[in-house]
Amino acid sequence: MLSNRDKQLKAERGYHGKSYVRPDGSEVLLDKFDWHMRKRELWARAGGQCEYVFPVDGSRCRLDGTIPAHIVPRAVRRDDRLEGLKLYCDRHDRQMEIQNWRVTRFGEKGKPVCKRK
């Protein structure tokens, strides 16, 4: 039986405990230490600021980021790699969650529901 866990990749990336890396390189960080490290990387990349970009003019949300969000919903296929994450403020996390859920469920593209102040 093929395993979906690549032990060598996990060792190379220095993950701990129950975290695992799939053979395609995607990651699931179940170990607290690993996930905290990933969050620190995410916050550093974002400079602590929400990474939502307004489609209207390409400007970025100015609020503080509070929530590490998965671009592909975790329920579909969890991947905790840095490039699979966005740091959002509460509002944009909610907004993107609704959109992703609709895309996943109904195959439609969500439209931004919140207006810029």
9 binds Zn ion (CB under 5 A): no
Q: Does 92 bind Zn ion (CB under 5 A)?
A: yes
Pick the stretch among 4-12, 55-63, 78-86, 107-115 that binds Zn ion (CB under 5 A): 55-63
For the chain, percent helix, then strand, then coil, each to nearest 5? Answer: 40, 15, 45
- Is residue 69 involved in binding Zn ion (CB under 5 A)? no
> Beta strand pairing status for 27-28 and 20-21?
antiparallel
CA distance 42 to 31: 17
Does 67 interact with Zn ion (rule: CB under 5 A)? no
Query: Is residue 46 part of the contact set for Zn ion (CB under 5 A)?
Result: no
Point out which span in 5-13, 17-25, 62-70, 105-113 binds Zn ion (CB under 5 A): 62-70
Which has the closest alpha carbon to 71: 83, 63, 58?
Answer: 83
Q: Which stretch binds Zn ion (CB under 5 A): 20-28, 67-75, 76-84, 90-98?
A: 90-98
Which of residues 6, 52, 80, 96 is near Zn ion by CB under 5 A?
Answer: 52
Q: If binding means CB under 5 A, how many residues of this protein chain bind Zn ion?
A: 6
Residue 93 · residue 61 · CB < 8 Å: no
Residue located via tokens 């695992």:
20
d(C-alpha 77, C-alpha 74), whole Å: 5
* Contact positions vs Zn ion (CB under 5 A): 50, 52, 61, 63, 89, 92
